[in-house]
Amino acid sequence: EDLDVIEIDGASNRGVQEARDLIANAGLAPARCPYKVYIIDEVHMLTTESFNTLLKTMEEPPPHVKFILCTTEPNKVLHTIQSRCQRFDFKPIPSSLITSHLKDVLAQEGVEAEEEVISRVAEMGDGSMRDALSVLERLLASGPARLEAALVDEVLGLPDQAQIGIMFDAILDGDPAVALEQASALLGAGTSLDQIISCMIDRLRSLLLVTTCGRDTELLQVTESTRESLAVQAARLDAPGVLYLLSLCEHASRSLRLSVSARAVMDTTIVRMALAENLGDVQSLLGASPVAGAQKK
């Protein structure tokens, strides 16, 4: 760190007094660098009063001061501030590039890893190399010579993907009993209701991409074995069917936070998904929208 580079967390220092302190210190000359640089992270968290306090200094900053404002929500930064800034937008890093870098890191560390592990870690990064590396670091800290898919679930506390797969196959088979049994087993292993619904939404999103864009779509960054598994399941659905199942899960996700019996919400959703074909037939007779029918092939 350098004395002339000051990083401020906008979420923790969002009041008027903090803004006034920043202005007062900005008048001091840098210790050894040509400029004194203020980095304000999460700048959108500053209050309107704080922004207005800083505005005059940002309009006419001292010649030795530079401001760097960082935010993930630029729409919340006052227009009067944005108009005085030079804006740079950083885009999410493609999963393929994150995967490539993770492989290089693992090679340098001398650790082997299954392709599925690398793919899942890259996906968890959600476009951020730092987040992906943080997840990988947690896995490496467990000390294995080889990273396997089961380890990811164990170390990160994620739902057992094999059980999720069995549950989803049961839903597609129209077998609510097996689907409910698998959901109960997941809950017994410590998986939360939110996690189960989230996993189903993620699986349906992948199936939607396969059914609409084809098996080999580049929008889906997964291993070949996972792609093949998705293709088999996608062959049993069409796009309207996937959309209907997604709507059930989205509704359940919202209802979990409001219902006095969240477990009943999840069980009901799983049964409705498993019986979607029958429900679709009834709704078509009642004149419901075509998208309401999850027609299985």
Supply φ then ψ for residue 9, to 5 degrees: -85, 110
| pLDDT at residue 283 in the model | 42
Token pair of 43, please?
């700048």
* CB neighbour list of residue 75: distance below 8 Å, 6 or more residues apart: none
| pLDDT at residue 246 in the model | 93
Neighbours of 242 (CB within 10 A): 23
Token pair of 144, please?
């294995």
- Which among 186, 160, 162, 179 is positioned nearest to 276, based on CA atoms? 179
- Tens of pLDDT, residue by residue over 216-275, are 888 887 777 788 888 998 888 888 889 999 999 999 999 988 888 999 999 999 999 998
| pLDDT at residue 276 in the model | 82
pLDDT at 151 over 90: no
- Tens of pLDDT, residue by residue over 192-213, are 999 999 999 999 999 999 999 9
| pLDDT at residue 1 in the model | 58
- Average pLDDT score over the chain: 84
Token pair of 210, please?
């396969």
| pLDDT at residue 126 in the model | 83
Residue 273, SS3 per DSSP: helix
| pLDDT at residue 248 in the model | 92
| pLDDT at residue 270 in the model | 94
pLDDT at 92 over 70: yes
For the chain, the distance separating the N- and C-terminal CA atoms, rounded to the nearest angstrom, is: 61
> Could you tell me the pTM of the whole model?
0.65
Residue 45, SS3 per DSSP: helix
The model's confidence at residue 278, banded by pLDDT at 50, 70 and 90, is low
pLDDT at 280 over 50: no
- Tens of pLDDT, residue by residue over 106-138, are 999 888 888 888 888 988 888 889 999 999 998
Between 201 and 150, the higher pLDDT residue: 201
| pLDDT at residue 175 in the model | 93
The model's confidence at residue 293, banded by pLDDT at 50, 70 and 90, is very low
